[in-house]
């Protein structure tokens, strides 16, 4: 967790912590004088930003509810890289108690946690349908035929659902059955940017 905001992910540049992936990207762009998404038109830029905010500030909380509150973090011991978490026999117990309570309280404060499981799942289905309407409409990526920064945010949420959730999870099953375009999109992004996921994440360092 970062020192300043106690958040993850973060980067440390010249001794300064920058929390939040979006703020980290903006910081690096400013530092290295990189223009954000130079290939996008203003319409595409607006669409990409709106979609990113949906992924980061709505679908993220749906995923958090689904995985840590409704499913008690069941995916963590089996689907997370051993390089990321040191699992021990107490991990599932901690996930069912301490972590679940922490997430439930945080989600209540944020608002998502006040809704029923069915209501939260309906929010999630709406997000998936919105993404599919864009991707299935002749776009390889959310703003057109080329990926943009905001695809990373969408990819992050879809990877969580499609790769990290347990096989019998509601959203994993629902997405696979209803939105092949989103499964293909996730594979396309992985092929471009995270081809070595299994080799990198699952090869233990010790
Ligand atoms: N949209 C943010 C999400 C970051 C976020 O919410 N991270 C969570 C962990 S996945 C966090 O740091 N939570 C702090 C806490 O729960 O105390 C980003 O992309 O950086």
Minimum CA distance residue for ligand 1 atom 1: 56
Question: Beta partners for 17?
Answer: 12
Decide if 113 contacts 64 (C-beta within 8 A): no
How would you write the chain as a 3-class SS string?
CCCCCCCCCEEEECCEEEECHHHHHHHHHHHCCCCCCCCCCHHHHHHHHHHHHHHHHHHHHHHHHHHHHHCCCCHHHHHCCCCCCCCCCCHHHHHHHHHHHHHHHHHHHHCHHHCCHHHHHHHHHHHHHHHHHHHCCCCCECCECCCCHHHHHHHHHHHHHHHHCCCCCHHHHHHHHHCHHHHHHHHHHHHHHCCCHHHHHHCCCC
Measured from the Cα of 153, ligand 1's closest atom is 19
Pocket test for ligand 1, best of 3, 5, 6, 8 (most atoms within 8 A of CB): 8
**56 Cβ inside 6 Å of ligand 1:** yes
Decide if 147 contacts 192 (C-beta within 8 A): yes
**9 Cβ inside 6 Å of ligand 1:** yes
Minimum CA distance residue for ligand 1 atom 12: 7
Residue 43 is predicted with a pLDDT of 95
Pocket test for ligand 1, best of 2, 4, 7 (most atoms within 8 A of CB): 7
Residues 82-92 have pLDDT tens digits of 777 777 888 88
Quote the CA–CA distance of 33 and 31 in Å, as a whole number: 6
Residues 53-101 have pLDDT tens digits of 999 999 999 999 999 999 999 888 877 777 777 778 888 899 999 999 9
Minimum CA distance residue for ligand 1 atom 5: 8
Measured from the Cα of 20, ligand 1's closest atom is 20
* Domain residue extents for the chain: 1-34, 41-200
Architecture of the structural domain at 41-200: Up-down Bundle (1.20)
Ligand 1 center to 137 CA (angstroms): 31
Look at the pTM and tell me if it is higher than 0.85.
yes
Query: Cα 180–187–34 angle (5° rounding)?
Result: 125
Residue 90 is predicted with a pLDDT of 85
Decide if 59 contacts 124 (C-beta within 8 A): yes
Ligand 1 center to 56 CA (angstroms): 10
Residue 108 is predicted with a pLDDT of 98
Which portions of the chain are predicted below pLDDT 50?
Answer: 205-206
């Amino acid at each position: 967790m970062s020192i300043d905001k106690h958040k993850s992910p973060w980067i440390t540049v010249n001794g300064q912590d920058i929390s939040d992936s979006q703020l980290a990207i903006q910081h690096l762009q400013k530092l290295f004088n990189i223009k954000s998404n130079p290939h996008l038109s203003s319409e595409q830029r607006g669409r990409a930003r709106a979609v990113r905010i949906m992924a980061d500030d709505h679908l993220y909380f749906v995923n958090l509810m689904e995985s840590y509150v409704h499913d008690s973090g069941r995916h963590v011991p089996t689907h997370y890289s051993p390089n990321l978490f040191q699992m021990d026999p107490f991990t599932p117990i901690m996930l069912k108690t301490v972590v679940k309570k922490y997430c439930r309280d945080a989600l209540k404060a944020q608002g998502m946690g006040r809704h029923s499981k069915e209501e939260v799942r309906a929010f999630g289905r709406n997000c998936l349908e919105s993404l599919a309407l864009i991707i299935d409409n002749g776009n390889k990526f959310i703003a057109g035929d080329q990926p943009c920064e905001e695809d990373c945010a969408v990819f992050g949420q879809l990877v969580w659902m499609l790769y990290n959730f347990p096989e019998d999870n509601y959203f994993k099953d629902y997405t696979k059955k209803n939105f092949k375009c989103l499964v293909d999109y996730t594979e396309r992004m992985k092929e471009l940017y995270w081809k070595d996921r299994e080799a990198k994440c699952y090869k233990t360092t010790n």
